[in-house]
Chains A and B, each alone.
Chain A
Amino acid sequence: GQQLNQSPQSMFIQEGEDVSMNCTSSSIFNTWLWYKQDPGEGPVLLIALYKAGELTSNGRLTAQFGITRKDSFLNISASIPSDVGIYFCAGPSPNDYKLSFGAGTTVTVRA
């Protein structure tokens, strides 16, 4: 079953804000992946992390592989309207290496 817990479930952003979300697991993961899904599209890989403590950036996005190997964080700096969508964390299950996804964090622009 699903082993990845994402928080928050949803968030509202205002243009220019910095936002953060995280993903936790009860098991150790060796890889953390962050995907984004735009409305009506399939998910697209944003950042891949392979080493505990690793900090990786992709433009305004920064993700970190937690030192305990049981969590990961994604930060978006200076958000813009096109940042809306669903952000998923994912990782290979420690039991069978199949890729599991969290339930997602839905980002919406605050009116």
Chain B
Amino acid sequence: NAGVTQTPKFQVLKTGQSMTLQCAQDMNHNSMYWYRQDPGMGLRLIYYSASEGTTDKGEVPNGYNVSRLNKREFSLRLESAAPSQTSVYFCASSEWAFTGELFFGEGSRLTVL
């Protein structure tokens, strides 16, 4: 009963390093999302994929890229990490874009030194 699975759960990077956060869902959902959570800021949408083959920018896309690898998987890439990208990242999925319930993963805590 996995739902939405994110890896890694924790990561420490140095400024300028790159990394990819992986996300997979097993609910056959069409839409997937990446949010970041910062204290006092709630959850802010980075990128989303309304359906397989499409991706769109959210509220805070700068410094990130995404790939919808297939219907199950949606990855988030930081090409050159900056301290401002220190955050907790959540992947989520839903049956259709922004309607109904979003199911979230457990989060990935990223620290950029």
- State the A residues within 8 Å of B (CB): 1-2, 4, 6, 9, 40-45, 48, 88, 90, 92, 97-104
Chain B minimum-CB-distance residue to A44: B104
Residues of B near A6 (CB, < 8 A) are 42
Assuming A40-B106, A42-B4, A42-B90, is B42 touching A48 (CB within 8 A)? no
Can you add 4 more A-B contacts, CB < 8 Å, to A42-B106, A97-B98?
A2-B59, A4-B42, A101-B43, A104-B42
Instruction: Determine how close the nearest CB of chain B comes to the CB of A30; give it in whole angstroms.
Output: 11
Name the one of A2, A42, A98 contacting B48, with C-beta atoms under 8 angstroms: A98
Assuming A98-B45, A98-B58, A99-B45, is B101 touching A42 (CB within 8 A)? no
- State the B residues within 8 Å of A (CB): 4, 33, 35, 40-45, 48, 58-59, 90, 92, 97-99, 101-102, 104-107
7 interchain pairs, CB-CB under 8 A: A9-B40, A43-B43, A43-B104, A99-B33, A100-B45, A100-B59, A103-B40
* Whole-angstrom CA separation of A6 from B104 in the bound complex: 21
Residues of A near B59 (CB, < 8 A) are 1-2, 98, 100
